[in-house]
Structure 1
Amino acid sequence: MVKESVVSKNYGGKLPLQTRSLCPECKRPLPATIFERNNQVFITRTCPQHGETEEIYWEDAKYYEFARGFATGSKGIENPNVGKIIPNSGTNCPADCGLCQNHHNHTALANIAVTNRCDLSCWYCFFYAKEGEPIYEPSLKQIRNMIRNLRKQKPVATSALQLTGGEPTLRKDLIEIIDIARQEGLEHIQLNTDGINFA
């Protein structure tokens, strides 16, 4: 274990540094330390229930430092829903908070599930509606509101969106959904599809 006195409290500081992680067993949020040993970067954390866990965080310490050079310092994030619509202080982060004040990164790529219907029945799919299950399909108004909330995030508004499902091409109003995304200022829109309807 790394001594607390030598741990950088500033995320992005020199190694070792202190951050937050999860217990791999119970998923409890825990203080964690990232440190270098034998040209590898490790992460360690101690869960009161499951004890200490140490894992390789990055295979090559030099490459880790190179990649960290692209980090831009965190200003935190302000989510328009947390604390107003969703009464959440982050105590259950990351289990059910969305983006609470504990998060330091903005939404790089938002996913909106526009349907849970699908034209396939892949055994590994976790989302599509099986026969007899309720269909999830938000209205155009609901989708517009979702996008507006993404665009209200501060200090960086979401600019990229993936329309997913189920199979989003099963929606007859898919073009209208894309138009809404453009109207609301999204710069990048991508479609997660099996491609059958394009063939």
Structure 2
Amino acid sequence: MTQAVQTESRSRLLPAPSRFDEGAVKFGEKEIKIGGPLPQLAENEKLVRVTHSLCPACYRLLPATIFEKEGKLFIRKICPDHGEFEDLYYGDSSLYYKFDYWEYEGKGPKVPYVDLKSPCPYNCGLCPMHHQHSALVNLVITNRCDLSCWYCFFYAEKAGYVYEPTLEQIKFMVDQLKKQDIT
């Protein structure tokens, strides 16, 4: 995929959080609204960046502001149906800025895994809008692990079903990873 195509794909959808439409995304029978007002800052708050976030009550995709106040970073969003939400984003603003110095925008996935049909996070997978690539890949070949490690993010025993892809499915996963040309 060329850089022009990636840029065009990224700009097709939600070009700026302040310009959300009052649209919706459908998942089967469920419809999730998109959009809301861009939160304003108080006098003692310094804007760090504008981003996207979700309403914790209805999962509506919202514009959000990340701002600094009293040495900490906060995120604020306003859902038209459920009101304003403000949460601690980073407990030490000076440490955040040190890490932010090393952030850079990547080229995105060489071969996107999914087509761009809905805005993040509703279009699961690496789509053309992502600016980063896979850095750590886990290929899950079973969820029947019985070690119950406290740090495991698979929560294997909580799935309620057995997941074991076929050999063909595993080969497909490896082929998709190889297409990313990650070394």
| Pairwise TM-score range, normalised by the shorter structure | 0.5 to 0.7
Equivalent position to 1:90, from 96, 118, 126:
118
- Is the CA contact 2:117–2:123 (under 8 Å) kept in the aligned structure 1? no
SS at match of 1:110: coil
Distance 1:121 1:64, change over 3 A: closer
Larger-gyration structure (1/2): 1
* 2:156 pairs with 1:127: yes
Which residue is equivalent to 1:105? Answer: 132
- Is the CA contact 2:66–2:75 (under 8 Å) kept in the aligned structure 1? yes
**Superposition pairs for residues 10-159 of structure 1, below 5 Å?**
15-83=47-115, 88-91=116-119, 93-119=120-146, 126-128=155-157, 135-153=162-180, 157-158=181-182
The alignment of Structure 1 onto Structure 2 pairs a total of residues equal to 138
- Is the CA contact 1:116–1:129 (under 8 Å) kept in the aligned structure 2? no
TM-score (norm 2): 0.61
TM-fit CA distance, 1:34: 0.9
SS at match of 2:96: helix
TM-fit CA distance, 1:64: 0.8
* 2:40 pairs with 1:2: yes
Name stretches of at least 5 consecutive residues in structure 1 with no aligned partner: 4-13, 160-199
Deviations 1:68-88 (A, max 9, x none): 0110124343544312xxxx5
Instruction: State the identity as a percent.
Output: 44
Distance 1:121 1:31, change over 3 A: closer
TM-score (norm 1): 0.57
- Alignment RMSD (CA, Å): 3.1
SS at match of 1:97: coil
TM-fit CA distance, 1:63: 0.8
